[in-house]
Amino acid sequence: MKRFSTKKIISIVSLSIMCATAVEANPAFARQMGMDCTGCHFQAMPKLNSFGREFKMSGFTMTGGQQELKSESNSGLSLPQHLGISVVIKARHVDRNSDTPGNDDSLSEIFDESALLIGGKIADNVGGSFEVANGSNDVVQEVDANGAPIANSYVSEGSGLGFSGKLTFTDTFSLGRLGVTLFNTDALGVFSGTEIYSSGLFRPIRQFENRNKTNILQKAGVGNGSASGAQAYYYGHGLYATIGQYVPGYGQSISVETEGYKTFARAAYEFNLADFTIAAGGYYIGGDIIDPAAQGQLTGIVWASDANALDRESSGIDMQIETAVGGMPLMLTGAAVIKNKYTAGGIIGASKMEDTGFSFDAQINPIDNIGLKIAYLSSEFKDKTLNLTDDQSIISGGVEYYGAQNVRFVLEYSHTKYSGSKNAPANSNRDTDGDILLMAMVAF
């Protein structure tokens, strides 16, 4: 593996720093609650603590007692007086060095994941969170001169700005909180509606920035991608449970012409043991919306990142532990993808895939504004049709510096060891890769 030059590292650091400026204002939810960002986050944004989980389960309707703008009708709008708008600006640079000639590459993303966020309380039992951000490429089926779909022929179309979000209707009862969430996301995954833990089922809430090298739920495609759907959930007495249906696509309207919606479910139980807060649970994704006659096509916008999800069947388990060691906050998370089968590209007749494995990671903050991280991931990828395998073992380490509660700088390194490859193409028979990632983020 080639060494990273001093000049290259200096240029990467400069690239990241230029995108983070000192910002004193807190994001919209903190303003709604009248408290610091740390009131809802464990160690730092975006990981949630117990109060942050309560706030999210309320559909973002909790307030800090500030004066509200209310209509005369008891069932009318009840809006916080402040404007519930936040801006997230993020810049990343990833540099990969491989022991195979020609496999080195670099990726710089300036403002690529930046977004305008609008959200908070809408009425006493209604809240939401909405995002306007740069879109991606949409994949649509190509048509002939007569407007008829051409089988197995797809083209990519630019989408510009995308609008994603979730709307929650919720109320509390003696047995706990019940709610319903409608969601639509271009990239944050089927569990983007209400997920509250940091194990990686919900793409933004995780310990490492380099998600595909450190988190098996992200690497296997379970916790990311486009999704549009609805779910019902329960939260109370330590139990979080949800069930819903969705389409693995993103758009203002999507027509399911084939087998209908896919089903997903999630449950986790949280309890305290001595000084530890422990949560353990699992997930399920099932249902098949591929129809051989329609080739799994959805009418409307279908995002390229989710083609594999059309007939994905997946299940797994995850856990999270929060505690402190010698006064230093510590979080450990882990997950295992036990089953994860799908058809490549969602096209009938293509290869049958299976992508499974496990990962665990930990972060400890020796001082308030510095976090040290480690992670291990083991994955097993199989192309059952072509009889190909590609196993990986990845060790990662990182450090985070919080210039303020809403400003993050991240440095991570991941070392990938490839083993057990079978019948793989010659250019993929590499032994090791090394990835260095730098990220700067500010939210205000």
Where residue 234 sits, what CATH number does that domain have? 2.40.160.10
Instruction: Give CA angle at 175 (170, 176), nearest 5°.
Output: 40
The phi-psi region of residue 357 (left if phi > 0; otherwise alpha if psi is between -120 and 50; otherwise beta) is left
- Say if residues 45 and 31 touch (Cβ distance below 8 Å): no
Tell the residue number behind the tokens 């919306």, with chain if given. Answer: 289
- Say if residues 306 and 185 touch (Cβ distance below 8 Å): no
Residue 405 lies in a domain: yes
Residue 1 lies in a domain: no
Q: Which DSSP letter does residue 25 get?
A: P
Residues in the chain, pLDDT under 70:
1-27, 65-67, 71-79, 81-83, 99-104, 112-113, 133-162, 255-259, 290-305, 420-430
Q: Which DSSP letter does residue 159 get?
A: -
Give all strands (DSSP E) within 238-387, no chain letters: 239-247, 254-255, 262-273, 276-286, 299-300, 302-303, 313-325, 328-343, 352-367, 370-383
The helix (run of H) or strand (run of E) holding residue 253 is none
The CA-based dihedral angle spanning residues 136, 204, 441, 22, taken in that order and rounded to the nearest 10 degrees: 130
Q: Cβ–Cβ contacts within 10 Å for residue 57, how many?
A: 23
Torsions phi, psi for 23 (to 5 deg): -125, 125
pLDDT digits (tens, 9 = 90+) for 314-329: 999 999 999 999 999 9
Q: How many domains does the chain contain in total? A: 1
Amino acid at 333: T
Give the CA diameter of the chain. Answer: 71
Taking the C-alpha atoms of residue 27 and residue 186, their distance in angstroms, rounded to an integer, is 22
pTM of this structure? 0.85
pLDDT digits (tens, 9 = 90+) for 38-93: 888 888 888 999 999 999 999 988 887 666 777 666 556 666 766 688 888 888 88
Residue 267 lies in a domain: yes
The pLDDT value recorded for residue 304 is: 46
Could you list the residue range(s) of the whole structural domain that residue 119 is in?
6-443
- Sign of torsion over alpha carbons 36, 38, 39, 41: positive
Residue 122 lies in a domain: yes
* List of residues 6+ apart from 242 with CB closer than 8 A: 193, 194, 231, 232, 233, 234, 265, 266, 267
Residue 329 lies in a domain: yes
Taking the C-alpha atoms of residue 307 and residue 139, their distance in angstroms, rounded to an integer, is 9
How much helix, strand and coil, in percent to the nearest 5, is found in the chain? Answer: 10, 55, 35
Taking the C-alpha atoms of residue 144 and residue 178, their distance in angstroms, rounded to an integer, is 49
Residue 265 lies in a domain: yes
Amino acid at 294: A
The pLDDT value recorded for residue 198 is: 96
Taking the C-alpha atoms of residue 272 and residue 270, their distance in angstroms, rounded to an integer, is 7
Residue 359 lies in a domain: yes
Taking the C-alpha atoms of residue 164 and residue 186, their distance in angstroms, rounded to an integer, is 7
- Say if residues 150 and 144 touch (Cβ distance below 8 Å): yes
